[in-house]
Amino acid sequence: MLLTVDLERLDVREGQLLLDAGCGEGRHCFGALERGARVVGLDLDLDSMRLAHRALRRRADELGSCGVMLQGNTFALPFPDATFDRVICSEVMEHVHDYGAAVAELARITRPGGRIAVTIPTATSEHLYLRLGDDYFESPGGHIRIFKPRQLALALGRAGLTTEGAGFAHGLHTPYWVLRSIMRLPAADRSRLVRAYRLYLVRATGSPLMDWFEKRVLNYICPKSVILYAQKPALDARAAA
């Protein structure tokens, strides 16, 4: 399963309640469910969730757990304060104008002592795509900013979260998006080279050797995504009393 967030590093465990904000087709939802977590996925795009929702509920039933997907907005999450033990928000912040407000909302629904992982594209890869053409940023639903990890870490800090570390992912995908940018999005899907590389990615996903090569080599040379791992401070014992 192709995941951006390292669920082991996020310390996703059995019985926890996890939110995947901007879940899309639910890759992280399924991954967390397999680790024993109860999972809620949320996304604005109802079509992307429609089939995944049924599959997630079916798998949750098989595991005797809970897995649902809801349509919703990251700026107004429909949950009470301090609801979730773990929160994932993957490849969302580069699409929204007020990412600080979105981060604050994620912090609000995270329990004290809970952990959160937020992923964004690396600035290096984004600048590379931009140099190859404007389509990557001007296509519908495209990115509206190029992030530096420090910007995101500062936003997490302002929301009361402590950044504890960073990781990198998807080194194999950077060449794919380079090809797509060269072939002029969104017409790139007509390119035989793009289609061939996409097929290679599908096959590489199931290869232990390519997984090792990506994680040990390519993610340090040409990562597509950077992940910040943060924690919401636990309540002081006297304050909780």
Structural domain of residue 144, as residue ranges?
A: 17-233
The pLDDT of residue 1 is: 65
- The answer to whether position 223 is within a domain reads yes
Distance CA 41, CA 67 (A): 8
Note the pTM of the prediction, 2 decimals: 0.91
Residues contacting residue 35 through CB under 8 Å, at least 6 positions apart? 7, 12, 13, 14
Residue 201 within any structural domain of the chain? yes
Q: Which residues contact 194 (CB under 8 A, 6 or more apart)?
A: 176, 179, 180, 183, 188
Q: Determine contact, residues 186/160, Cβ cutoff 8 Å.
A: no
Tens of each residue's pLDDT in the chain, 241 residues? 689 999 999 999 999 999 999 999 999 999 999 999 999 999 988 888 888 999 999 999 999 999 999 998 888 899 999 999 999 999 999 988 899 999 999 999 999 999 999 999 999 888 888 788 766 666 656 687 888 899 999 999 999 999 999 999 999 999 998 888 888 777 788 889 999 999 999 899 889 999 999 999 999 999 999 999 999 999 764 454 4
Residue 99 lies in a domain: yes
75 inside domain? yes
Distance CA 34, CA 19 (A): 14
Is residue 146 situated within a structural domain? yes
Number of compact structural domains in the chain: 1
Q: Is residue 10 part of a domain?
A: no
Give, to the nearest 10 degrees, the angle between helix 192-205 and helix 173-182.
170
How many Å is the maximal CA-CA distance in the chain?
64
Does a structural domain hold residue 238? no
Residue with tokens 């040409």: 222
In a domain, 168, yes or no: yes
Structural tokens at position 79: 């949950």
CATH number at residue 216: 3.40.50.150
